[in-house]
Amino acid sequence: MYKTGNVMKYKSTRSTNGEAVSAAVAIKNGLAPDGGLYMPESIPTLSAGDLAELAGMSYPERAARILSLYLTDYTEEELLADCRAAYAESRFPGGAAPVRPIDGDVYSLELWHGPTSAFKDMALQIMPRLLSRALKKTGEDRTALILVATSGDTGKAALEGYRDVDGVKILVFYPTDGVSRIQKLQMTTQEGKNVGVRGIYGNFDDAQSGVKRIFSDAAMAEKLNASGVFLSSANSINWGRLAPQIAYYVSAYCDMVAAGHVAEGAPIDVAVPTGNFGNIFAAYLARLMGVPIGRLICASNSNNVLTEFLETGTYDRNRTFHMTVSPSMDILISSNLERLLYLVLGAEKTADYMKKLSEIGVYSLAEEDMAEIKKIFVGYSCDEAETAENIRTAFTRYGYLIDTHTAVGYGAARKHLAAFGAKRPIVLASTASPYKFAPAVYSAVKEAEAPEGTEALLALEKLSSVKIPAPLSGLDEKPILHAETIEHTAMPEAVLAFAGAN
Ligand SMILES: *Cc1c(COP(=O)(O)O)cnc(C)c1O
């Protein structure tokens, strides 16, 4: 059964001889010193018996058990306490990760019942607790400054997760014209004595590249250190973000079996609306652990860099950046793809491709390497019209309301069924509450212009008779606390000023 006493160490995706570190250190550092991402040295496995045992547990118990296989320097008691607090009914009313049928073939894994109505809460409600413990476990006495680049949902979820956590400050950068009105309001009204929010002129990749550059700036680190501050990340490049996401795919399988949607041991396919490749990579890890998952369906919006990669083996970020109704997927550099390359190709080739990506923005995999990936991953993209049509179809035909991101995933699932037939039930990661993108969802269903502001939420509620999540109602009445917008080139100064190190 579970191998107790096993120690899991973590290595960089770019180093063949680098030092292996504990989970606490990997979570504390976020990014490896060589710019690579931390990966466990081995993938723990779950037997059929383990899955059966997990099926009898609550969500917090399932999550704690999965985490205990990876975070071996945390005790089971610590993890269980953290998961119970993070995934409590009070934070996730209606359950942390329930599975609901949409149509006869596709099942929605609802990951948006948390405090900010997006799936990022699944990781960001627990990760601050894991970081807090990591600081103690590693004897750290400096303040951790969490830097976040966000295309919308991570920012709010991180702010909510880290607000007023001792020993931690958090500064969030978002593209000022690249997020929805509600996403912006959620962030600019954020309360908490340790939080900062800055809009930047530029797109998400500008924000993300800016943050990455700051992380690898030694002079900056020195200045911060002199003020008793070090940098840490909450982006999905941090292992502490990814590990908790594995749990809901394991959980979904247990629930699919329990509900009789799939026979015990028989495979499901999983469809994931993808941006940074974090969520779908967590599904891949669940698959490697032994959860019966066949195909991983990678869904993209008009920013279809991953669809093209999965088709051709060429990753090319030199393309037009589209602003879509699914802004959390408006991404041209899918950072976590690096972790997949590492598992399939090893560190040396990965480092090489990542160098190419940063220098010329494009790399191509050898055919045999790509064949490995294609055995499991398949990509589809949906443009804006298709996204709207998917929302309309899911609601008018099946009475199930989905947000714009989930709609891209639903479209990909339908395209996969059309291409391959319904061989296996598909679990679709539903990544946001439809209310988070109310105007786009409303106009997709009604094929008409949506009302302005809060009216859009109310109109959608009236139309669908699905209740507005409590944290989203009343946003308009909250005072704006963070109005500042800066050039993306000014991000380093903003960090130093926020840290009090300038
Ligand atoms: C972040 C996000 C995604 C993309 O997830 P990745 O892990 O970056 O692939 C999809 N949908 C929503 C609503 C999100 O917030």
pLDDT digit string, tens, across residues 184-222: 999 999 999 999 999 999 998 899 899 989 988 999 999
Å from CA of 58 to ligand 1 middle: 25
Ligand 1, closest atom to CA 120?
15
404 lines ligand 1 (CB under 6 A): no
Torsion of CA 222, 227, 233, 238, to 10 degrees: 70
pLDDT at position 2: 46
162 pLDDT tier (thresholds 50, 70, 90)? very high
453 pLDDT tier (thresholds 50, 70, 90)? confident
Indicate whether 320 pLDDT > 90.
yes
pLDDT at position 93: 93
Q: Order of strands, edge to edge, in the sheet holding 195-201?
A: 229-233, 143-149, 168-175, 195-201, 485-487
Indicate which residues carry an active-site annotation. Answer: 120
The closest residue, in CA terms, to atom 8 on ligand 1 is 276
pLDDT at position 4: 53
432 lines ligand 1 (CB under 6 A): yes
pLDDT at position 182: 86
pLDDT at position 259: 97
5 pLDDT tier (thresholds 50, 70, 90)? low
Contacts with 395 (C-beta within 8 Å, 6 or more apart), sequence order: 401, 402, 445, 464
282 lines ligand 1 (CB under 6 A): no
Mean pLDDT score, 405-409: 98
Ligand 1, closest atom to CA 331?
8
pLDDT at position 78: 97
Å from CA of 274 to ligand 1 middle: 6
Ligand 1, closest atom to CA 432?
13
Q: Secondary structure of 230-249 in the HEC alphabet?
A: EEEECCCCCHHHHHHHHHHH
276 lines ligand 1 (CB under 6 A): yes
Mean pLDDT score, 363-373: 95
473 pLDDT tier (thresholds 50, 70, 90)? confident
491-495 LR contacts (CB < 8 Å, sep 24+): 491/173, 491/198, 491/200, 491/207, 491/210, 491/211, 491/214, 492/210, 492/213, 492/214, 492/217, 492/220, 494/171, 494/173, 494/198, 495/145, 495/147, 495/171, 495/214, 495/220, 495/224, 495/231
Indicate whether 472 pLDDT > 70.
yes
The number of C-alpha atoms within 13 Å of 274 and in the hemisphere containing its C-beta is 35
H-run or E-run covering 101? strand 99-101
* Percent over 70 (pLDDT), the chain: 99
Beta carbons within 10 angstroms of residue 455's beta carbon? 14
Collapse the DSSP code of 162 into the 3-class scheme (helix H, G, I; strand E, B; otherwise coil) and give the result.
Answer: helix
pLDDT at position 3: 47
What is the pLDDT of the chain when averaged over all its residues? 94
pTM equals: 0.93
278 lines ligand 1 (CB under 6 A): yes
Mean pLDDT score, 131-148: 94
Give the model confidence (pLDDT) of 74-97 as tens digits: 999 999 999 999 999 999 998 999
**Top-confidence residue, 304 or 166:** 304
Domain ranges of the chain: 99-117+240-464
Mutate to test the pocket of ligand 1, among 296, 329, 435 (most ligand atoms within 8 A of CB): 329
pLDDT at position 39: 97
Mean pLDDT score, 400-410: 98
The closest residue, in CA terms, to atom 14 on ligand 1 is 328
Collapse the DSSP code of 205 into the 3-class scheme (helix H, G, I; strand E, B; otherwise coil) and give the result.
Answer: helix
pLDDT at position 233: 82
295 lines ligand 1 (CB under 6 A): no
Beta bridge partners of 148: 172
**CATH code for the domain defined by 99-117+240-464:** 3.40.50.1100
Using the CB atoms, write b or e for 131-146: b if 16+ within 10 Å. bbbbbebeebeebbbb
Ligand 1, closest atom to CA 236?
7
